[in-house]
């Protein structure tokens, strides 16, 4: 009498293995990461244009339109879910450097690219574009190296740039930056790097599900 009832191990794994729940959790996580990164990186860009902050200057964090972070979050959720999905369609899951430390490195490099574009003064915009492009391709080569990743990255970067340009031309959205060319030169590269990064995070998150499912089939 009075012994501990052994806890069942099923519930946790079941939650992971459950497709929809898993999808929702991953989507939510990716969304949050996307919102966070959007806020932080926006801040970096804001810094470039404002020389000095008023002392009670928290308002500047949200100086961009309110819908930008949610949009980024949604986009990152979609991308992060799309990558493992495409991997599954193509066959094997992505195996190259599939570990959290590598993902963290990728995120750090992504933030670094943003940092560089915001902080470093380039001679002209072509140089900025070229440097950022080289960095983005380097990011892909270092952390992804999959053709699907490259293709998806290019496609989404192109689409996103196009959408932004359309928005700007229709006057829905304005660049805060004084020089228009500057923004246009870094936008595609940042989009591309962001797609690679979010894809990497999404794949890593999907690894959990894959592992658990594998284990389950093994047990069965």
Partner 1 sequence: MTVREKLRQKISAGFYWHGLLCASYPVPIILFTAVCILTCCYPLLKLPLPGTGPVEFTTGVRDYMVPPQEPSGDPGERPDWYRGPPVAYIQQVLVKAAVSPWDNRLVPVDAFRSPLGRVFSLLDEIRNHVHSDSSGVRSLEALCLQVTDLLPGLRRMQALLPEHGCLLVSPGNYWQNQRELFDSDPDLLRTVQQYEPKGLHTSATLKDLLFGVHGKQTGVSLNSRNRVVTYTITMALRHYDVRFLGSLRSRLKQLHPSANCSLREEHMVHVHFKEEIGVAELIPLVTTYIILFAYIYFSTRKIDMVKSKWGLALAAVVTVLSSLLMSVGLCTLFGLTPTLNGGEIFPYLVVVIGLENVLVLTKSVVSTPVDLEVKLRIAQGLSNESWSIMKNMATELCIILIGYFTLVPAIQEFCLFAVVGLVSDFFLQMLFFTTVLSIDIRRMELADLNRRLPAEAGMPPAKPGPLRPRETPPPPRPSPHTITLQTPAFRNLRLPKRLRVVYFLARTRLAQRIIMAGTVIWIGILLYTDPAGLRTYLAAQVSEQSPLGGAGLPHLAVAPATPPPELDPMPPPIPQISWGPEDEEGWRRLSYRHWPSFFSYYNITLAKRYISILPVIPVTFHVTPREALETRHPQDTRHAPPLQTDPSPNALPHGAPVQTDLTLYKVAALGLAAGVLLVLLLFCLYRLLCPRNYGQNGVQHGRRRRGDLPCDDYGYSPPVSEISPLLLRGHNMDIECLASDGMLLASCCLAGQIRVWDAQTGDCLTVIPNHGRNQGKSSAVTDLETLGGAEGQDAGGAGYPVRRRAAPSRPTLFGDQPDLTALIDTSFGQQPPSQAPSASSGFDFGGLVERAYLEHEPSVSPVFSAPPPQPVQRRRSLGDQPMAPTDWDSAVWALELRGNLIAAGRSSGKLEVCLWDAVEGSLRCSNEDGVSGITALAFLNNRIVAARLNGSLDFFTVDINKPLGLLQYRGGPGRGSMPPSPCYSSDDVISCQLTRSVQCAHQKPITVLRAAAGRVVTGSQDHTVRVYRLEDSCCLFTLQGHSGGITAIYIDQTMVLASGGQDGAICLWDVLTGSRVSHVYGHRGDVTSLVCTTSCVISSGLDDLICIWDRSTGIKLYSIQQVLGCGASFGVISDSLLVTGGQGCVSFWDLNFGDLLQTVYLGASSEGQGVRQLVVLDNAAIVCDFGSELSLVYVPSVLEKLD
Binding site for partner 1 (CB under 8 A): 1-9, 11-13, 15, 36, 40-41, 43-44, 46-47, 51-58, 60-61, 99-101, 103-105, 107-109, 111-112, 115-116, 119-123, 127, 130-131, 134, 138, 218-219
Among residues 113 and 152, whose Cβ is nearest to partner 1? Answer: 113
Q: How far is the CB of 116 from partner 1 (least distance, A)?
A: 7
Query: Hey, what are 171's tokens?
Result: 């006057």
Q: How far is the CB of 3 from partner 1 (least distance, A)?
A: 5
SS3 string, the chain, reads CCCCCCCCCHHHHHHHHCHHHHHHHHHHHHHHHHHHHHHHHHHHHHHHHCCCCCCCCHHHHHCCCCCHHHHHHHHHHHHHHHHHHHHHHHCCCCCCCCCHHHHHHHHHHHHHHHHHHHHCCCCCHHHHHHHHHHHHHHHHHHHCCCHHHHHHHHHHHHHHHHHHHHHHHCCCCCCCCCCHHHHHHHHHHHHHHHHHHHHHHHHHHHHHHHHHHHHHHHHC
Q: How far is the CB of 163 from partner 1 (least distance, A)?
A: 25
Among residues 151 and 179, whose Cβ is nearest to partner 1? Answer: 179
Q: How far is the CB of 104 from partner 1 (least distance, A)?
A: 4
Count the Cβ atoms, other than its own, within 10 Å of residue 30: 23
Among residues 90 and 181, whose Cβ is nearest to partner 1? Answer: 181
Among residues 30 and 109, whose Cβ is nearest to partner 1? Answer: 109
CB 107 within 8 A of CB 122: no
Q: How far is the CB of 166 from partner 1 (least distance, A)?
A: 29
Among residues 12 and 158, whose Cβ is nearest to partner 1? Answer: 12
Among residues 40 and 181, whose Cβ is nearest to partner 1? Answer: 40
Q: How far is the CB of 191 from partner 1 (least distance, A)?
A: 19
């Amino acid at each position: 009498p009075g012994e501990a009832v052994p806890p069942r191990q099923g519930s946790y794994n079941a939650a992971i293995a459950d497709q929809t729940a898993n999808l929702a959790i991953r989507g939510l996580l990716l969304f949050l990461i996307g919102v966070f990164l959007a806020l932080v990186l926006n801040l970096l860009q804001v810094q470039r244009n404002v020389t000095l902050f008023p002392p009670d200057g928290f308002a500047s964090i949200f100086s961009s339109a309110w819908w930008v972070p949610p949009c980024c979050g949604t986009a990152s959720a979609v991308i992060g879910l799309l990558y493992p999905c495409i991997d599954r369609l193509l066959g094997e899951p992505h195996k190259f450097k599939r570990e959290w430390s590598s993902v963290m490195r990728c995120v750090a490099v992504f933030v670094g690219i943003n940092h560089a574009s915001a902080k470093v003064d380039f001679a002209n915009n072509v140089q900025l574009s070229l440097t950022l492009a080289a960095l983005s391709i380097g990011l892909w080569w270092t952390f992804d190296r999959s053709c699907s990743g490259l293709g998806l990255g290019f496609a989404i970067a192109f689409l996103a740039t196009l959408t932004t340009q359309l928005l700007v031309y229709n006057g829905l959205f304005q660049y805060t930056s004084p020089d228009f060319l500057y923004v246009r030169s870094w936008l595609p590269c940042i989009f591309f790097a962001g797609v690679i990064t979010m894809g990497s995070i999404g794949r890593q998150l999907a690894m959990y599900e894959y592992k658990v499912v594998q284990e389950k089939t093994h047990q069965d």
